[in-house]
Amino acid sequence: MKYICDRCLHYFHSDDKLQSHMVDCREMNDCAILLPRDDKWLTFENYYNKERLPFVVYADLECILAKTDKEKNLYQHHK
């Protein structure tokens, strides 16, 4: 499991290392976390305007297996 610092996005493999990092990161890293107000979020609502996939592929790859009788332990040969 990885532990990630919320301020600088460095990751650590233990919670102890993250906590010791946070002491220095709070003092040295002057980044500010700014989130938009609740009325400023963008959302996508026109789902009927989404572009459909231009193609669909259906494949049955086992249909190209040929039976063999040369070896006793081999049932099919991939072509």
- For the chain, 79 residues long, the average pLDDT of each consecutive 10-residue run is 87 93 83 77 82 77 63 61
Contact 58, 45 (CB under 8 A): no
Report the pLDDT value the prediction gives residue 65, as an integer from 0 to 100. 60
Nearest to 25 by CA among 14, 10, 3: 10
CA distance 30 to 12: 20
Report the pLDDT value the prediction gives residue 49, as an integer from 0 to 100. 79
Report the pLDDT value the prediction gives residue 74, as an integer from 0 to 100. 62
